[in-house]
Structure 1
Amino acid sequence: MKKIALILSGCGVYDGSEIHETVLTMLAIEQHGAAYRCFAPNMTQHHVINHHTGEVSENESRNVLVESARIARGDVEDLNDLHVDEFDALIVPGGFGAAKNLCNFAIDGDNYTINEHVLAAGKAFAQAEKPAGYMCIAPALLPLIYPKGIQGTIGTDTGTANLIAAKGLAHCESPVDEVVIDPAHKVVTTPAYMLATSISEAAVGINRLVKSVIALIE
């Protein structure tokens, strides 16, 4: 059975992993006959958002690993314990946590950087030439992990795409139900909730991403 590592960034669209994207990814992996394990960096998340009001919760602090356990039903491991030789592929769901906790794109889009542990994990899969899937805003991580010219998509948002392209992403516009595949680097991307207006719309592209990633496993 093929084994896929998932890197989560918390719990909740505004300050962590997008819950629908993450659950749809888990479901698609199992439906395509593979298995997954979840990982997250053991760190304080950038901030906490009240998902009911959309406002920052002042004087509240949460841990990315602990919050990710909410989605993973407790079964999540420290990202430092992710060993590339135990897996066939990597998938990173989106949500603002990918742009606030895994990197700081949402805070400093002009000159953003990536978390060192996320960078090490991403590079390990890249150097091992193992497939990877990044969805929603998570492709912002790609030009910091792969060589300049890596192909990917965040959908059709030109302003956001240009910021990531400035770091080295060769951005390809894509509708919500399609994927962009960089065959040289075995990287698959899809817009997911960068474009999706419903969970069923998001599901189509995410399912194709998972299927494509598994198909690239040698």
Structure 2
Amino acid sequence: MKKIAVILSGSGVFDGAEIHESVLALHAVEKAGATWHCFAPNVEQLHVVNHLTGEATEESRNVLVEAARIARGIIEDVAKLNVDDFDALLVPGGFGAAKNLTDFAINGAECSINADVAAACRAFKDAKKPAGYLCIAPVIIPMVYPESVKGTIGNDDGTAAGFNGLGGQHVDCPVDDIVFDEENNVLSTPAYMLANSISGAASGIEKLVTKLVALA
């Protein structure tokens, strides 16, 4: 049975992994006949947002500990991710991808990426194993793959410009479709960058995961 490594960035759309996307992705992996195992960086979140008010708080939370909520404890530090143990990589979105995995939300095209996350993503690239990125997480793609790699975050001009500024080639994409850069074996879909409902997000996520598992 094919095994998919999933990198989460916390728990909650505004400061971590997007919960709907994450659960939809894990469900899609199982529906495609594969298994999943989650990972997250063992670091403090950039900040903690009260999801009722949308305001940042004075709290501090750990990305790995928070992501464990979504994974029901089936999770490890991303530093322990061994590419040889898995057939493909999947990275859900949520602002945690742009705040905790990278600092894209703060620095845009001048951003950096967490070293352990970068090592894991590059390991799948170097092994020529397929990888899929959802929502805002595709901003990681041009930090990992060669210049002009194709990917999508939907059609937001500012984020697309940031993707291109990092060296990628952004492709506008509707919520129910995917972008597949065949040369680099990497997939992306807009999910909640465009979706207005769980069903809308699911349409592209399921298409991406089905393709990802088939490629693995």
**TM class by shorter-chain length?**
over 0.9
> Matches of 1:131 and 1:110 in 2, distance apart?
24
> Matches of 1:146 and 1:52 in 2, distance apart?
37
> Matches of 2:102 and 2:79 in 1, distance apart?
16
Matched, 1:21 2:51: no
> Matches of 2:182 and 2:212 in 1, distance apart?
11
* 1:136-155 deviation digits (Å, cap 9, x = unpaired): 00010011111111110000
**Structure 1 stretches of at least 4 aligned residues deviating more than 3 Å after TM superposition:** none
Deviation at 1:75, TM superposition (A): 1.3
Structure 2: unaligned runs, 5 residues or longer: none
> Normalising to structure 1: TM-score of the pair?
0.98
Deviation at 1:44, TM superposition (A): 0.4
Matched, 1:91 2:105: no
- Note the 1:14-163 alignment, pairs <5 A: 14-58=14-58, 60-163=59-162
Instruction: For 2:84, give the aligned amino acid.
Output: D
Deviation at 1:46, TM superposition (A): 0.4
> Normalising to structure 2: TM-score of the pair?
0.99
Larger deviation, residues 10-19 vs 154-163: 154-163
Number of corresponding residues: 216
> Matches of 1:49 and 1:105 in 2, distance apart?
17
* 1:54-111 deviation digits (Å, cap 9, x = unpaired): 00012x1000000000100111111111000000000000000000000000011141
Matched, 1:5 2:12: no
> Matches of 1:38 and 1:152 in 2, distance apart?
23
Instruction: For 1:81, give the aligned amino acid.
Output: K
**DSSP 3-state at the match of 1:107:** helix
Query: RMSD of the alignment, in Å?
Result: 0.6
Structure 1: unaligned runs, 5 residues or longer: none
- The residue aligned with 2:198 is 199
Residue identity (%): 60
Higher helix share: 2
